[in-house]
Amino acid sequence: MIFFTKDFIKFLTDLEMNNNRDWFNENKEQYINSVKDPFEIFIDALLNEIKEEDDSVSLTPKEAIFRIYKDVRFSKDKTPYKTNVSAIISEGGRKDFTTPGTYLEITKTGLKFYGGAHFINKDQLQNLREFISENLSEFHALLKEKKFKTTFGTVLGEKNKRVPKDFKELMEVEPLIANKQFYYFTEIDKEKLFSKNLISILMKFYKIGRPLNEFLKIGMNANR
C-alpha cells in the first residue's frame, strides 16, 4: 500500500515557509487530507505489524502520534507548528519517554528511524550500567551483530563527563558506559515514502533493533 503522495511533502515544505496561524488555518483542510489522515493510516498499519511481533505494544495511532502544534512557552522559536510529523511506538506511546522503543519522524527530506532509549532517569541509568557490566559479552554481541552494524552503525547518545567510580575501570573496555542515552538511528530518503514496501522496510529496521531494545529494557528495570 502507498500511504503518501507528493502533496504530503509539498505541505510540509510550504508550512516551513509559512509557519503562522493564518496560513495554517487557510490550509487546514489540505493538512488533514494530505498529511494528518495519511500519517494516521500509516502509523495504524505499522502498529498492526509491530503488534504481531510484540504483544506488549497495544497502542492506537492517537496514543503514538505527536501533535503538530508546538509548545512555545519556553522556546525562543515562537513559530507555532512543527514542520514534521512524528510518532513514538513503545509500551506507553507518546506519554512514555523512558521505555525503549521506536521513534519515527518524517520531514520534507525523508523519514528518520530511531530506536533505543533516549530518556533515562538516574535510577534506570544506574541499573543499566550495572546490567551492562554483568552482561558485557551479550552487549558487545548485540552491537557487533552484522545487520545491526550495517543498518545503524553503532549506539549514539550524550555522555556524562564523569561516571561513578565503580564504572571507571569498565569504561576503559566499553566507552558507551559513559552514555546517558542509548539510541540508534537510520534514515530513508523521501522517494521511499512513496514505495509500496515502506512498511516492510521499517519492519526490517524494527526487527534488527529489537534485541538491543529488549536488552536495554531489561537492564533499565532490573531489580537490584
Give residue-wise pLDDT tens across range 10-63: 999 999 999 999 999 999 999 999 999 999 999 999 999 999 999 888 899 999
In the structure, what pLDDT confidence band is assigned to residue 190 with cuts at 50, 70 and 90? Answer: very high
Q: What is the mean pLDDT of the chain?
A: 94
Average confidence (pLDDT) over 72-92: 89
Q: What is the pLDDT of residue 92?
A: 85
Instruction: Give the containing element (helix H, strand E) for 117.
Output: strand 110-117
The CATH architecture annotation of domain 6-220 reads: 2-Layer Sandwich (3.30)
Residues making up the chain, counted from first to last: 224
The whole-number average pLDDT for the span 83-98 is: 90
Q: Which of 184, 57, 177 is nearest to 127 (CA)?
A: 177
pLDDT-derived band at 187 (thresholds 50, 70, 90) equals very high
Residues near 196 by beta carbon (within 8 Å), at least 6 away in sequence:
1, 2
Q: Smallest Cα–Cα separation from 3: which of 29, 55, 41? A: 41
pLDDT at 223: 67
What the block records as the C-alpha cell of 157 is: 547518545
What per-residue confidence (pLDDT) applies to 21? 96
State the helix-helix crossing angle for 136-144 and 198-220, rounded to 10 degrees. Answer: 170
Residue 224 has pLDDT above 80, yes or no: no
